[in-house]
A and B are shown apart, each in its own frame.
Chain A
Amino acid sequence: MKQQTFQSRHAQEWAAFERWLTLRGRPRTRDRMLDGDDVFSDVEFPAAYRRICQQLALAERRGYSALLVHRLQDLAHRGHLILYRPKAPRARAVVDFFAAGFPRLVRSQWRVMLIAALLFFAPLIGVIVLLQWRPELVHSLFDPAQLANFENMYDPASSAEKLGRESGTDMAMFGYYIFNNVSIGFRTFASGLLAGVGSIFVLIMNGVIIGGVAGHLTAIGYGDPFWRFVAGHSAPELLAIVISGGAGLQIGMALIAPGRRTRGRALVEAGSIGARLVLGVFAMLVLAAFVEAYWSSIGWMPASVKFSVGGLFWLMILLWLWRGGRGRVDVE
């Protein structure tokens, strides 16, 4: 068939397809025009797209002019983008992910998670213990202004009303915790791409600093308001840091030891695992920020209540990570 015949035979079809693309193919639903008289309905789109693909293949095979081939390529490419557009996440899939998929993913990466936990909790507990033994060592961690700031925040004499802050409403602190802590979580993960060094550094660094504050305040007798403040949100926050560190470490491992895959392939797989871990970390840190802003700061609550709630959080989150999604068949 000559090009002219081919073109005139299909010109209407191409025009209709292009019209559908411009009117119904917009990413935003409300930008899309309602079905008009001369626009075919959405259910006919896949078939129309397949015909365009077939005509493109024919045009290329028969050596039709480059302009025609380009036009068909353009139509096919735009159709391809719309046909394979990612679906909006369904509520069911989101619930499934947090209930089962995420804990399972954490367990499947148990090696890096264990290493991350050691890298974080060993310096944390080590520094706390060390500072009870040799309290003056705290001065090699913080300068006097920082120490004065910490002492001011948890002074048992002054902090009658709100714990763990100098000023600011609950909402202001919630925003602060979200921006600050979630950013730290994200960076801990991302810096793992530097052969894991970034994540290792952030984990140890945070362990030492948190341990330093906790150890110092306990050593000078400000332990009661401090532990009452941190008990509630410690479980989601500390475990989220560990998991994001582990997510970073597994990216670093994919770079160092890709195994029987190419390095690029290993990185892409590790990136996909890491992003899903970070989604869970994000949820945990939002929970932690909420607890920290609205619950942990309540000053009058007796220590026994604070500690039992904090303990309950530890128990439930560890139970969730350990048992979540067990014995269920993966739907995906």
Chain B
Amino acid sequence: MLDTLTLVETPEGIALRLRAAGAMPRAAAWAIDMVIRGALLWGVATVIAVLGRTGVGFYLLILFVIFWLYPVLFEVLRDGQTPGKKIMRLRVINANGTPVTWISSIVRNLLRTVDMLPFGYAFGLVASLIDPSSRRLGDMVAGTLVVHVEPPEQPSAAPLAPIVQAPIALPPAARAAIVEFAERAATLTPERQQELAALLPMLTQAGGALAVQRLHGMAGAMLGRS
């Protein structure tokens, strides 16, 4: 229940990892969008003021576009991201992992009307607190999700160390953990590395920096270095 990660199987036979975004980052994205929309409208108003009465008509047309169409156009044409969502690293997608479509974006944005009731997105907030993937009512009807866009991780190479064969045969998960330990070495302080390596005295049969070095050596062997 607490984990917001959902795995969605695609026709390609791979699992997409979708991490649903909670109410707070979404509210922040909405606030950023409101500022942008307000600024746009203000800019339009100052330009159109020269047109006089006819300008009122254009102003109302643009108000309509900014009010109703802004989120739909951005979500569909910009890979599920309004400017606010882009800054907050969020993305709207269909529940099956595919990019949000016209119809589902229209539904989720029209139904904001209901999520806003009775004031300040109260219905939407309650719905997103109850729902396991924190969807508001509009998301439920549209079949969409707001997910975090995870920044790509650049794998760092495991540090070079004299090759050591593990004294016992290890299960795949343990092998992956040792390789990952080596690959993450650049992000850990030497002290922390030694602390972690000290958890495996039977495997390393050493302590301190030597234990770390032996683990790196085992990782090298598992990676297939010679």
Indicate whether A and B interact: yes
Given contacts A191-B113, A193-B111, A275-B106, contact A183 B64 (CB under 8 A): yes
Measured CA separation A175–B17 after assembly (Å): 45
Given contacts A2-B223, A89-B102, A182-B68, contact A169 B54 (CB under 8 A): yes
Q: Chain B residues near A272: list those with CB within 8 A.
A: 103-104, 107
Main secondary structure of the interface of A (DSSP, over half): helix
B18 shortest CB reach to chain A, Å: 9
B186 shortest CB reach to chain A, Å: 11
Q: Chain A residues near B140: list those with CB within 8 A.
A: 264, 267-268
Query: Does B58 lie within 8 Å of A65, measured CB to CB?
Result: no
A302 in contact (CB, < 8 A) = no
- 1/0 per residue, CB under 8 A from B, across A255-275: the answer is 000000000100110111011
Query: Does A169 lie within 8 Å of B57, measured CB to CB?
Result: yes
Given contacts A2-B224, A271-B107, contact A67 B57 (CB under 8 A): no
Q: Which residue of B lies closest to A18 (CB)?
A: B152
Q: Which residue of A lies closest to B150 (CB)?
A: A74
Query: Does A71 lie within 8 Å of B107, measured CB to CB?
Result: no
Query: Does B150 lie within 8 Å of A178, measured CB to CB?
Result: no
- 1/0 per residue, CB under 8 A from A, across B164-193: the answer is 000000001101100110011000000000
Main secondary structure of the interface of B (DSSP, over half): helix
**CB-CB contacts below 8 Å: A51-76 with B:** 53, 56-57, 62-68, 70-71, 73-74, 76
Q: Out of A86, A169, A182, which one reaches B76, CB within 8 Å?
A: A86
Measured CA separation A264–B142 after assembly (Å): 10
Interface size band for A: 35 or more
B194 in contact (CB, < 8 A) = no
Q: Chain B residues near A317: list those with CB within 8 A.
A: none
- 1/0 per residue, CB under 8 A from B, across A86-123: the answer is 10010000000000000000000000000000000000
Query: Does B14 lie within 8 Å of A76, measured CB to CB?
Result: yes
Q: Which residue of B lies closest to A293 (CB)?
A: B57
Query: Does A183 lie within 8 Å of B99, measured CB to CB?
Result: no
Query: Does A193 lie within 8 Å of B137, measured CB to CB?
Result: yes
Q: Chain A residues near B183: list those with CB within 8 A.
A: 65, 67
Q: Chain A residues near B153: list those with CB within 8 A.
A: 67, 70-71, 74
Query: Does B152 lie within 8 Å of A85, measured CB to CB?
Result: no
Q: Chain A residues near B77: list those with CB within 8 A.
A: 27-28
Measured CA separation A292–B98 after assembly (Å): 41
- 1/0 per residue, CB under 8 A from B, across A186-222: the answer is 1101110110001000000000000000000000000
Query: Does B142 lie within 8 Å of A271, measured CB to CB?
Result: yes
Given contacts A3-B179, A5-B224, A86-B76, contact A168 B110 (CB under 8 A): no
Query: Does A84 lie within 8 Å of B102, measured CB to CB?
Result: no
Query: Does B63 lie within 8 Å of A179, measured CB to CB?
Result: yes
Query: Does A4 lie within 8 Å of B114, measured CB to CB?
Result: no
A256 shortest CB reach to chain B, Å: 14
B181 shortest CB reach to chain A, Å: 9
A25 shortest CB reach to chain B, Å: 9
B130 in contact (CB, < 8 A) = no
Q: Chain B residues near A274: list those with CB within 8 A.
A: 107
**CB-CB contacts below 8 Å: B64-115 with A:** 64, 67-68, 76-80, 93, 97-104, 106-107, 110-114
Query: Does A176 lie within 8 Å of B176, measured CB to CB?
Result: no
Query: Does B60 lie within 8 Å of A86, measured CB to CB?
Result: no
Highest count of chain A CB atoms <10 Å: which of B16, B57, B140: B57
B122 in contact (CB, < 8 A) = no
B132 in contact (CB, < 8 A) = no
**CB-CB contacts below 8 Å: A131-176 with B:** 167-176
Query: Does B61 lie within 8 Å of A179, measured CB to CB?
Result: yes
A251 in contact (CB, < 8 A) = yes
Q: Chain A residues near B3: list those with CB within 8 A.
A: none
A124 in contact (CB, < 8 A) = no
Query: Does A67 lie within 8 Å of B60, measured CB to CB?
Result: no
Query: Does A71 lie within 8 Å of B155, measured CB to CB?
Result: yes
Q: Which residue of A lies closest to B58 (CB)?
A: A175
Query: Does B13 lie within 8 Å of A186, measured CB to CB?
Result: no
Query: Does B103 lie within 8 Å of A276, measured CB to CB?
Result: yes
Q: Chain B residues near A331: list those with CB within 8 A.
A: none
Known interface pairs A171-B54, A272-B104; 4 further A-B residue pairs with C-beta atoms within 8 A, sorted by A's residue number: A71-B153, A85-B99, A168-B53, A176-B56
Nearest 9 CB-CB pairs, A to B? A2-B224, A175-B60, A175-B57, A63-B172, A171-B57, A190-B113, A271-B141, A65-B179, A4-B224
